[in-house]
Amino acid sequence: MPEIIIIILLLAGLLALLAAGVWVAFSLIIIAIAGIVIFSSAPVGQVMATILWGASHSWALAALPMFIWMGEILLRSRLSEDMFSGLSPWLTKLPGRLLHVNIFGCAIFAAVSGSSAATAATIGKMSIPELSKRNYPEKMILGTLAGSATLGLLIPPSIILIVYGVATEQSVARLFIAGILPGIMLVLMFALYVIIRAKMLGDKIPSENSKFTFKEKIKASHSLIPVILLILGVIGSIYLGIASPTDAAAMGVVFSLLLAWKNGTLSKKMFVESLMGATVTSAMIAFILVSAAFLTTSMGFTGIPRNLAAWIGSFELSPFALLLALTIFFILLGCFLDGISVVVLTTSIILPMVEAAGIDPLWFGIYLVIVVEMSQITPPVGFNLFVIQGLTGKNILTIAAAALPFFFLLLGAVLIITIFPQIVTFLPSLKGN
């Protein structure tokens, strides 16, 4: 089929540019220009100017820097220390004990940072020395941290869900709401795995001698309560329709600054560092997004997505067969590209096939994020593995082996939401729009 040959040539050109060290955004623009020039007679300059300008002032995109800044502020506050001291008293009697701090700590931080790598770095700095000092098995320490940090991509407010929403013109608020139950499901799956492994390891999991009364547990958690309220406020205001994701993100920044001021970590230096960190990250993601929008338009001029979707439809693949093929494709692609790049590079071509197969784009967004989560813990480009390697100095293959059970748990989660799509669609259906 000619479209397949064209796609292979364009993909080969894109990979060649990326391999040569060209920025992702520039690579996308170059391939988009090539697509328009070679396969259509459209005025490439006018198209590029119109699309880049139009994509850059998307209102949904405004939430992106706000949520990133909120995470940067809390990353530089005492959140991680507060998290360990606040969670540990509640977990001493649960099988696996303080290993669950990695899981629940990552889940909480994921809900305020939206970044997998930031979650791994922040929780890892606190938990790895503490758990190692208490003689917890190294493999379990590394595995629970690497696996649980992937929750930063799914639990709202998630940066990658904003990217997917903007790239596919889906409601970011509905995507956030759709990610809640799958996120909780993954936390429970990870915790259950640790409980089972702890039972199997027996005495290798150290005992915790400290005993806390309920009053002492509440007292230890007092510094964590404002962060929990911040998370609930941001997500709750979106779910209840009180605020848009952008409005909620702006309020999240304000309250994050207040929390940092309250615990004494807010300073001029911290404020500037958090603002610059958010600016750099936001500019990078926004540049990739507007370039991807131009590539999407370019593909529209070539007619490739429409013809490819029709071609795929001619095989009459069942939705399950298509998802199986896409899962393998995304896992392989995720071995070489970061999650945001995977989303923006593929949505313009993949989404027409998905819609032609009768798959809900909202559900597909959550499916895609979980599959991309798997790529965060697979070598050679598993970002979480690199972060933990930097914290520990361990061989990356050792860390990957420790994270392997969580890779299969994520794969199991994909299977579960495929069999029971209501896990994703139930809460958005309650909200309506």
Q: Which are the contacts of 78, defined by CB distance < 8 A and separation ≥ 6? A: 223, 263, 264, 265
Residue type at position 355: E
For the chain, list residues with pLDDT below 70. Answer: 1-4, 7, 58-60, 79-81, 83-84, 113-114, 208-210, 304-314, 335-338, 379-381, 431-433
Number of domains within the chain: 1
Give pLDDT, residue 332. 74
Question: Terminus-to-terminus CA distance in the chain, angstroms?
Answer: 40
Provide the domain limits for residue 296. 2-431
pTM: predicted TM-score of the whole model, two decimal places: 0.76
Q: Which residue has the tokens 């391939």?
A: 31
Q: How far is CA 231 from CA 88, 153, 156, in A?
A: 20, 15, 9
User: Which has the closest alpha carbon to 406: 370, 360, 367?
Assistant: 370
Q: What is the pLDDT of residues 93-126, one digit of tens each?
A: 788 878 888 898 888 877 776 677 777 877 887 7
- For 359-428, the DSSP string reads --HHHHHHHHHHHHHHHTTSSSS-HHHHHHHHHH---HHHHHHHHHHHHHHHHHHHHHHHH-THHHHHHH
| pLDDT value, residue 194 | 92
**Rounded (5°) CA angle 358-363-368:** 105
Q: Which amino acid is at 49?
A: A
User: CA–CA separation, 118 vs 253, rounded Å?
Assistant: 17
CB–CB of 253/74 below 8 Å?
no
Residue pLDDT, tens place only, 15-43: 788 778 787 788 888 988 888 888 777 88
In 83-98, which positions are buried (b, 16+ CB within 10 angstroms) versus exposed (e)? bbbbbbbbbbeebbbb
Q: What's the confidence (pLDDT) of residue 331?
A: 79
Amino acid identity at 82: D
pLDDT reported for residue 338: 66
